Amino acid sequence: MRKLLLATTNRGKAREYRELLAGLPFVLTTLVDEGITLEVEESESSFEGNARLKATSYAVASGLITLADDSGLEVDALNGEPGVRSARYAGDNATDAERVVYLLNKLSTVPQGQRTAHFRCAIALAENREKVTVCHGSCDGVITFEAKGSGGFGYDPIFCFPEYGKTMAELSSEVKNQVSHRGRAAREVYKVLKHIVE
């Protein structure tokens, strides 16, 4: 069975991809599993640019079909911030909890009706440097006033789906994978991977 390299060191993200891509005839492996220590700096100005950069760099380094994503949160009241800087928004070494607090503080004076936000995800699948496919997914929600829920990671505890009345961190993984930005992009990637196998 062929290996598919997940170019991430984020355990939460790797776990989600194992659920999202279950049933494909690939062995999912990670940078840690493969002993790859190469660090690729996310220097592009778009989610797609960063995803492409990571996928091609790690595909060349590993010789494996590589999946890399870049995703983040765009808050309308902050003119689209944190955007591509979502992971580094509160500083390079901030924890998820610190990032959440930092963002909530920035929105402390923004009223209920003006807290709309969007999660965006670009997933790049690289067979080599030339052969790259990019799939996109997004979802819309509202930033809460406090963190709720223990599931997920990143900004999930403050991103609320009004139709469920729950944050992403309060949803079951089944529901989250249906409605999330990553889930939507991954369904497109699933089709591409099936095509590669066939």
What are the residues facing 44 on neighbouring strands? none
Q: What is the DSSP track for 116-152?
A: EEEEEEEEEEESSSS-EEEEEEEEEEEE-SS---SSS
- Quote the CA–CA distance of 81 and 112 in Å, as a whole number: 18
Mode of pairing for the β-strands spanning 116-126 and 65-75? antiparallel
Give me the CATH number covering residue 32.
Answer: 3.90.950.10
So what's the pLDDT on residue 91?
A: 94
Tens digit of pLDDT for each residue in 118-159?
A: 999 999 999 988 999 999 999 999 999 999 999 888 999 999
Could you give the C-alpha distances from 134 to 127, 146, 182, in angstroms and in order?
12, 34, 13
Residues of the chain with pLDDT under 70: none
Give yes or no: 33 in active site.
no
- Give the per-residue pLDDT at 125: 97
Domain that holds residue 42: 2-197
Q: Is 47 helix (H, G, I), strand (E, B) or coil?
A: helix
The pTM (predicted TM-score) of the whole model is: 0.91
Residue-level pLDDT at 71: 95
Check 33, 69, 70, 92 and give the catalytic one.
70
Total count of domains within the chain: 1
Per residue in 34-46, pLDDT (tens digit) is 999 999 998 999 9
